[in-house]
Structure 1
Amino acid sequence: MNTTINNSNLKYNNLILILGLAGFVSAADNWFVSPALQPIASELSISVSTAGIILTSYMIPYGVMQPVYGFFSDRWSKASVLKIIVGGLAIGTAGSAFVRALPLLCLFRIITGFFAAGIIAVSLGLIGDTIPKLERQIYVGRFMGIVFLGQGLSAGLGGLITKYISWRGAFVFFAVVAAISDIILIKGLSSDSKKISFNCKQNNFFLQTKIAICTPAGRKIFPLALISGFLLLGLYSYLGSFLHDVMHLDYLECGVLIMFYGFACLIGGTKVGKLSKRYGKKNIILLGEGFALITALSLYFFHYWEIALVATVFLGFGYICIQSTLATLAFDVNPENTGLPSGLIGLGLFGGGGLGSLFSGWLLSIDGYEAIWIVFASFIVVISLITLKIKLN
């Protein structure tokens, strides 16, 4: 019996490592741009707030396409879909390194976000198909911890490459990492193809999306994902430029400090499943919102790098608490087809994140960084009060 359990755990952990690498790359590919915004803006002769459209250009298609990939991966092989889209991510990232104007850079970021969109949604769907219900949040937490370790580490690596080579060199580096990841997926991930008969209604993407959103669980978790993405990723988007412009850290120092966001996500991801079992999913979401509120208030009141470091760690804990819990709840929306609900969570989080980044840029342009922190802190208080009234399983 113990041998069977150990073999299952080994199988699940190997799956998480393989999927985590692909997710690591998809998160890294967007967020290494954050500490590079200033040099990109300087070379292209634009403001930092204008350069922020690069983040939005990636995150909007990254969010919008997630349910589409999730829907079709329920009907095709999730493993095959992953192998194709990671390759597209590598190509789009490489193209971004060689453009000379903001519109073309935005175009390549849109293309990259289009392909990268399915990686997390399809991976989560594959986890939902493979791992027993009672163990899912443990492995979802580990998977998302690896993913957002990529988000944090990419800031450090991006800052290092930007400082000593250039922001274009950073794009080339991450394109190569994405290509290597695709090779590992092709060799290490076996096909999961399964022949399922779907009727016309089940093959209607818009109808199935409407059904998922209108379920009792969907009406709660999908709007919550949208708002959480808007708030937490909106806070994260201009953290790198804030550290540079206000605290006068260089690009490498900014990147290293932001790396601790990723470490917090990885550590939090290993604990959140067990905490959720003990204290309940709703309380874990509220805990995440509390961490985010502390982050925003700390950045508003204290302009010391030590405080910024603690705030960055808290933001990582907050994000992993909320994201992994919502992703786990999404599996229960439609247990037979896990890809679409997972994609809808991604749409909310990253589509909301794109809007949050755009809103942060607008606040920055009219009233500086302090406006970002205090406005978002106010929003977090409101959404926490709403969360208190929501009934979650």
Structure 2
Amino acid sequence: MSPDDAPRAPTRPPLSISLAAFVSSFDRFAISPLIVLVAHDLGATLAEALTIASAYFLAYGVSQPVWGILSDRLGRVRLMKWTLLAAALTGVAATFAPTLSILVIARALSGAFYGAIVPTSMTYVGDTVDEANRQPALTDLMAAIAVGTASATALAGVLAHFIDWRVVFAIPAVLAVGCAFGLRRLPEPPREQPGSVVATIRAAITHRWVLIVIGLAFIEGAVVLGVLTLLAPALQSQGTGAAIAGLATAAYGVGVIITSRMVKALSSRLSMPRLIAIGGSATVLAFGLLAAHLSITTVIIAALLLGATWSFQHSSLQTWATGVLPQARGTVVSFFAGTLFAGSAVGAAFGGGLGDKNQWTLLFAITCAVGLVLTVSIVVSRRIYAGPRKS
């Protein structure tokens, strides 16, 4: 066989993997425009209704180590198929939940099962795409996730306003079943044989750079994803309807889609610390703008900027996570995703308390300051890790 006839190594994620990540993202971000409506319908306060989001994020995060260990042993594709089917069942339960308590439980279970999808998709890319093409491939995966985010935040508010908020939970449940069947023909990627569970976990939690990367992911989750969940409720507190609030925050997904193309073009020319600095600067600008003035216009601009944060900063951080300890990649990526969404739960819960008191300016000012510290920390850490030649 000539070199031209040899099969080419993949440079992007398979379509079925991207679709599964899309559905997971749709389910995760659909809640934002619904919170105020759910609170009104079920007789709860904003802070109580926000437990739907924080419980989801917490379950999503806490389940990650389990999924990482299982993906290293059972296989990436097999794990995604079964967790998608389980998530579909819990989505049906959420659709028909009669009380807030049951809804919170159903959504938490959905978060736990959907929690297997994105990190396992990232690990699949890490298994199948070489290091030179990995960040562009992960950026493609993030674009699919961004489409899910934009679709969720745009459609959820519209569907809830004109039909019923329960319909929003049924849509990803149906799509999850379709994705599970779509993954049937995808082959398992080659992967290193893991050692014992205890040895794998010990290798991860005793590795200095693994701990640093997942610690940074925790803070990023609180700053970006946790507070992002509150943009729609912040607008609704001013009298904006759920449909308009959802469409405004959907600019986040649009921002990711646009800027992810930029990352693909720039990743070969700019070092990772510089990409991180660009994304972190967008975070500071976004929350600084919101702290100065909260309106539909500023939320749209801030959401677009946070999309740039996700493309530039987060894609760099997750690329780092896939390569920091290759022999335990599934476990490390699961810890990374777990701490990211545990941070999201903390950010949503903390922000919800301030939002319940209508202290939105204070929330966004605090987030702006933390975002600045986070950006500097990631840039400095990555430069130290890479060394002077790679930074």
Give the conservation status (yes or no) of the 8 Å contact 1:149–1:261: no
SS in 2 for 1:337: helix
Distance 2:5 2:158 in 1: 45
Q: How many matched pairs? A: 383
Match of 2:389 in 1: none
Distance 2:127 2:218 in 1: 24
- State the AA in 1 paired with 2:365: I
Match of 1:360 in 2: 351
Distance 1:193 1:279 in 2: 30
Distance 1:238 1:307 in 2: 14
Q: Which runs of 4+ in 1 moved over 4 A?
A: 1-5
Q: Return the match for 1:190 from 187, 191, 194.
A: 187
Higher mean C-alpha displacement, 88-97 vs 216-225 = 216-225
Q: CA deviation at 1:91?
A: 1.1
Change over 3 Å in CA distance of 1:243–1:111 after alignment to 2: same
Match of 2:248 in 1: 257
Match of 2:155 in 1: 157
Give the conservation status (yes or no) of the 8 Å contact 1:78–1:193: no
Match of 2:89 in 1: 91
Distance 1:283 1:193 in 2: 32
Change over 3 Å in CA distance of 1:321–1:303 after alignment to 2: same
Distance 2:65 2:188 in 1: 21
Distance 1:294 1:252 in 2: 25
Q: CA deviation at 1:68?
A: 1.9
Give deviations 1:170-208, integer Å, cap 9, x for gaps: 11222112222222222x4234477x655xxx2224x42
Change over 3 Å in CA distance of 1:367–1:169 after alignment to 2: closer
SS in 1 for 2:328: coil
Match of 2:8 in 1: 8
Distance 1:84 1:239 in 2: 33
Match of 1:286 in 2: 277
- State the AA in 1 paired with 2:224: L
Match of 2:332 in 1: 341
Q: CA deviation at 1:209?
A: 2.7
Distance 1:193 1:278 in 2: 30
Q: Return the match for 1:131 from 115, 126, 129.
A: 129
- State the AA in 1 paired with 2:187: S
Distance 2:247 2:18 in 1: 22
Amino-acid identity (%): 24
Q: CA deviation at 1:29?
A: 0.5
Match of 1:113 in 2: 111
Change over 3 Å in CA distance of 1:197–1:222 after alignment to 2: closer
Mapping 1:66-105, distance limit 5 Å: 66-105=64-103
* Length-normalised TM-score, structure 2: 0.92
Q: Would you say 1:203 and 2:200 are equivalent positions?
A: no
SS in 1 for 2:324: coil
Distance 1:143 1:88 in 2: 23
Alignment RMSD: 2.1
Match of 1:44 in 2: 42
Q: Would you say 1:225 and 2:225 are equivalent positions?
A: no
Change over 3 Å in CA distance of 1:134–1:388 after alignment to 2: closer
Q: CA deviation at 1:383?
A: 2.2
Match of 1:383 in 2: 374
- State the AA in 1 paired with 2:328: N
5+ residue gaps, structure 1: none
Give the conservation status (yes or no) of the 8 Å contact 2:94–2:107: yes
Distance 1:373 1:303 in 2: 10
Q: Would you say 1:22 and 2:49 are equivalent positions?
A: no
- State the AA in 2 paired with 1:98: F
- State the AA in 2 paired with 1:59: F
Distance 1:351 1:94 in 2: 24
Match of 1:244 in 2: 236
Match of 1:350 in 2: 341
Change over 3 Å in CA distance of 1:370–1:109 after alignment to 2: same
Distance 2:122 2:377 in 1: 27
Change over 3 Å in CA distance of 1:48–1:2 after alignment to 2: farther
Change over 3 Å in CA distance of 1:297–1:190 after alignment to 2: same
Q: CA deviation at 1:217?
A: 2.5
Give the conservation status (yes or no) of the 8 Å contact 1:229–1:356: yes
5+ residue gaps, structure 2: 387-391
